[in-house]
């Protein structure tokens, strides 16, 4: 396996104060390697989304640290954090989270414009990415005109915009039917194998576990067990 891309040390996240406080993460230390396909599973409320937010630089840990490519992200200024999100990580959400007022192509090109790519180059690469996810012909449609599965494909194309090292997905198939979910899983697996992008996905979906290199089992905010497997190929 490759280099370590994400490392956490004694990660703790506590929400709230005093009696009402919840320890959503309670000392998680782990290493995630370049190019792997990692699934995070656990019962509802076990802390998967919280973990996702921590390693994605979307929220600050209460204790412990997150290192991405050996950089402690707590040390970054807001501007540097924006740079990290723009260049290093692609995010995929259960609820797709496309920018509703922009077209599919504009959603895909926006991160490139943040990265300083010229508009022509961004459009060209955006069309290539939409073709890659099978939606080249729908580039001028807005999210409200696309099905859930199609929206998630656009979100995947958008996550790939700046050729990130890591794709972080929080229940990417959670709002999709079985068949569409399978297509999204296959697409992520394909990107992982062909482009070498590290995929980290929180999921309840058993089909997703089948294609994973490793599985983190989380319960009650702790990393219970790490399962290594030879993924099914198809």
Ligand X SMILES: Nc1ncnc2c1ncn2[C@@H]1O[C@H](COP(=O)(O)OP(=O)(O)OP(=O)(O)O)[C@@H](O)[C@H]1O
- Residues from 48 through 77 that contact Mg ion (CB under 5 A): 48-49
Tokens (6 digits) for 162: 């700046």
Q: For another protein, which is the closer residue by CB, 12 or 113?
A: 113
189 and 37 in contact (C-beta within 8 Å)?
yes
Residue tagged 């060209």 (tokens): 124
Q: For ligand X, which is the closer residue by CB, 136 or 174?
A: 174
By CB under 6 A, how many residues form the interface with ligand X? 12
As measured in angstroms, the least distance from the Cβ of 209 to ligand X is 14
Query: Measured at the alpha carbon of residue 35, what is the angle toward residues 79 and 195, in degrees to the nearest 5?
Result: 85
Q: 168 vs 31, 146, 174, 220, CA distance in Å?
A: 15, 23, 14, 21
- Residues from 16 through 75 that contact ligand X (CB under 6 A): 16, 22, 24, 42, 44-50
Residue 93 half-sphere exposure toward CB, CA atoms < 13 A:
8
Residue 46's binding partner out of Mg ion, ligand X, another protein, none, with CB under 5 to 8 Å set by partner kind: ligand X
Contacts of 175 (CB under 8 A, 6+ apart): 94, 95, 96, 148, 152
Q: For ligand X, which is the closer residue by CB, 45 or 119?
A: 45
Tokens (6 digits) for 203: 């999921």
192 binds Mg ion (CB under 5 A): no
- Residues 34, 88, 186, 226, CA torsion sign: positive
- Residues from 87 through 116 that contact another protein (CB under 8 A): 87-88, 91, 93, 97-102, 106, 110-111, 113-116
Residue 100's binding partner out of ligand X, another protein, Mg ion, none, with CB under 5 to 8 Å set by partner kind: another protein
- Residues near another protein, by CB under 8 A: 53, 56-60, 68-69, 71, 76-80, 82-88, 91, 93, 97-102, 106, 110-111, 113-116, 142, 158, 161-162
């Amino acid at each position: 396996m490759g280099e370590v891309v994400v490392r956490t040390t004694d990660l703790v996240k506590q929400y709230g104060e005093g009696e009402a406080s919840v320890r959503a993460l309670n000392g998680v230390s782990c290493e995630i390697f370049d190019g792997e396909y990692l699934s995070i599973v656990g019962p509802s409320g076990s802390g998967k989304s919280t973990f996702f937010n921590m390693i994605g630089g979307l929220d600050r840990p209460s204790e412990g640290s997150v290192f991405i490519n050996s950089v402690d992200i707590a040390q970054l200024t807001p501007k540097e954090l924006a740079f990290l999100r723009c260049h290093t990580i692609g995010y995929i959400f259960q609820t797709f989270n496309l920018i509703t007022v922009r077209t599919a192509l504009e959603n895909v090109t926006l991160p490139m414009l943040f990265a300083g790519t010229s508009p022509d180059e961004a459009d060209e690469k955006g069309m290539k990415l939409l073709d890659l996810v099978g939606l080249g012909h729908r580039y001028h449609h807005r999210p409200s005109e696309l099905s859930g599965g199609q929206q998630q494909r656009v979100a995947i194309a958008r996550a790939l915009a700046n050729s990130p090292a890591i794709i972080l997905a929080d229940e990417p198939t959670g709002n999709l039917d079985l068949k569409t979910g399978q297509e999204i899983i296959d697409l992520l697996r394909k990107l992982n194998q062909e482009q070498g992008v590290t995929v980290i996905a929180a999921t309840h979906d058993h089909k997703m576990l089948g294609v994973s290199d490793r599985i983190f089992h989380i319960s009650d905010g702790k990393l219970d067990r790490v399962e290594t497997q030879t993924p099914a190929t198809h």
